[in-house]
Amino acid sequence: MSHPVIPSVTAVRLRRGRRLGKYRLEKRLGQGGYCEVWKARDTVEGIRVALKIPHLDPSGRRDNQALLREVRLVAQLRHPHLLPVKNADIIEGYAVLATELSFGTLADRSKPMAPRNILSIIAQVLDGLAHAHQNRLTHCDVSPSNIFLFPDGRAALGDFGISLEIKGRMGTIDDYGTPGYVAPEQAYGKPTYRSDCFAVGLILYEYLTGVLLRWPFDWPGRGYKRLRQRANPALVAFLKRALAVNPSLRFANADDMLNQLIKADPEAARHLDRLGPPSPK
């Protein structure tokens, strides 16, 4: 069933200082084709949060409610390395998704990164993604802009299924993920857990070498010489498997991939054991 293209309406009406229910908008953090993100203050709990507000028509109540049902299903996942959805509701006609406020995303970081830093981030992402895969959920949009970073060294994967659900209701689902981070089979509309693993492999390769591999994903590809200078042979072999064009040659799921990453470089696990659940503040 196709969904009509819905015009962007929030960009016109939302301004700094406006209240949406208990939230007071303080600063627009970003604006994309399907939503905008605001730093806001929860005036009841006295904390700051990030508000994701999709560009959906406020009059489309049925579409908005369907979106929130999908988001609330995802919100039931609780894990230190999955960005928690604190609240998902219709406020003054808008679908409003409140999440923990990070201090940035991986996309904000310069490339290449120090190997120990990106390996730690990737291990945390895989830890959260493994929890989702164990609950039979595929992310379908793993990208640097969906990896949220915190001052204590924690990394969390966000936008779990949210961006694709919103795009689908806007009639822009053809993108099927963030361009540049889509596995070949996912581009043909057949994503699996292995597709998520491919995207994670692309990110790790990019932040180790400064090069984002492109179709046809030949191995060795651009940046390979630098990869060999910055990664041990086991990690190079790990990436070759992660980035196999044939899905059957890749890691079966994120748990499998995480275990193999730690075997390739045990230092990757340095931020996994000491972390508990995310702080509510």
CA dist., res. 262 & res. 117, Å (int): 14
Q: What is the DSSP string of 86-141?
A: EEEEEETTEEEEEEE--SEEGGGS-SSPPHHHHHHHHHHHHHHHHHHHHTT---S-
256 is catalytic: no
* Angle, vertex CA 167, rays to CA 164 and CA 169, nearest 5: 110
Q: Which residue in this structure is represented by tokens 């991986």?
A: 106
Q: What is the token pair recorded at 102?
A: 């990070």
Active-site residue identified among 57, 141, 159, 196: 141
DSSP conformational letter for 82: B
Number of helices (H), then strands (E), in the chain = 9, 9
CA dist., res. 113 & res. 154, Å (int): 16
- Active site residue ranges: 141
